[in-house]
Amino acid sequence: MTQDILFVCNHNAGRSQIAEAYLNARYGEQYTAFSAGNYPSSSMNAYTIRVMEEVGIPMAGHAPKSLEEFMGRQFDTIARLCDCSGTCLVLPPARRVIDHPISDPSQIEGSGGDVLEGFRRVRDLVFAWVDETFGAAAAGVTITWQRPDGPIPSVVLCSDTSRPLQEVIRDICSLLERQGIPCTITEEDGPVQLLFNNVPFEKIVPIYVPKTCSMCGTCDGSEGECSGGRRYEGIPESVVRLAAMKAGGLK
């Protein structure tokens, strides 16, 4: 089951059209993308068509559309690519709304070559942002527990809910899968560490996680015996969920 994504910009002749076409071409198995404009143009911008065809994405059949055409539809995500969060027209219903303004390429001045280069820069910015925002979800999330030997200690509790961290992780994995994001939980031998797609938890969210030794923070209590392990007792469940959402491209 795919997620429905709506991209919005002012005229639906450039940025949002680029995002729609790229998401469908690159991640069509996970998403169905649409686009619309606050004040749609009468036709597509010729430079939009040209820069997309340069990368092998045809724009045949694309035309500016009004937000009104989508008012009766529910979306998983609406992404506004114009700076209109305070003045934008009413949006269709959506589970989340992302504001990520990108410069309007139709405002670029200069020679034809200057304008073409400007559209290429905007295209590449849109591509990079779509990859960052939606690509992670398409690839899925792998949650990895590194621990010395044996199962995850049951004494690792979240500070805000007092739930065992391993139970929280299972619930998070189920939540991601309900959002259409594949999720896997693995366990590996090694110093205690929680990773999302091989990225340490504490590098995804701004929170301090002490090392195993609370005495000096660099060893396990014995000189020269540093394991690099982390202590996750007392980490809030809400922060673990935030890390998972970020790893899955939902935040």
3-state secondary structure of 71: coil
Structure tokens at 55: 């990368």
End of a domain among 139, 159, 194?
Answer: 139
Asked if 227 and 150 count as a contact pair (C-beta separation under 8 A), the reply is: no
Sheet of 3-9, strands arranged across: 31-37, 3-9, 75-80, 94-99
Q: Do 100 and 191 belong together in one domain? A: no
Query: What is the per-residue pLDDT for 134?
Result: 87
Query: What is the per-residue pLDDT for 8?
Result: 97
Structure tokens at 232: 């996750």
Q: Do 177 and 134 belong together in one domain? A: no
Query: What is the per-residue pLDDT for 149?
Result: 64
Q: Do 19 and 77 belong together in one domain? A: yes
pTM for the structure as a whole: 0.65
Query: What is the per-residue pLDDT for 224?
Result: 47
Q: Do 14 and 89 belong together in one domain? A: yes
Q: Which residue stretches of the chain have pLDDT < 50?
A: 214-224, 226
Residues 96-145: tens digit of each pLDDT = 899 999 999 999 999 999 999 999 999 999 999 999 888 866 678 899 98
Q: Do 145 and 72 belong together in one domain? A: no
Residues 14-23: tens digit of each pLDDT = 999 999 999 9
Asked if 196 and 190 count as a contact pair (C-beta separation under 8 A), the reply is: no
CATH number, domain at 99?
3.40.50.2300
Count Cα neighbours of 216 within 13 Å in the Cβ-side half-sphere: 11
End of a domain among 82, 110, 139?
Answer: 139
- What is the rounded distance in angstroms from the CA atom of residue 62 to the CA atom of residue 18? 10
Q: Do 170 and 50 belong together in one domain? A: no
Query: What domain range is 34 assigned to?
Result: 3-139
Number of structural domains in the chain? 2
Query: What is the per-residue pLDDT for 207?
Result: 78
End of a domain among 139, 172, 198?
Answer: 139
- What is the rounded distance in angstroms from the CA atom of residue 106 to the CA atom of residue 108? 6
Query: What is the per-residue pLDDT for 87?
Result: 64
CA 76 remoteness from chain centre: 13
Q: Do 183 and 154 belong together in one domain? A: yes
- Spell out a b/e string for 192-213, using b for 16 or more CB atoms within 10 Å of the CB, else e: bbbbbeeeebbebbeeebebbb
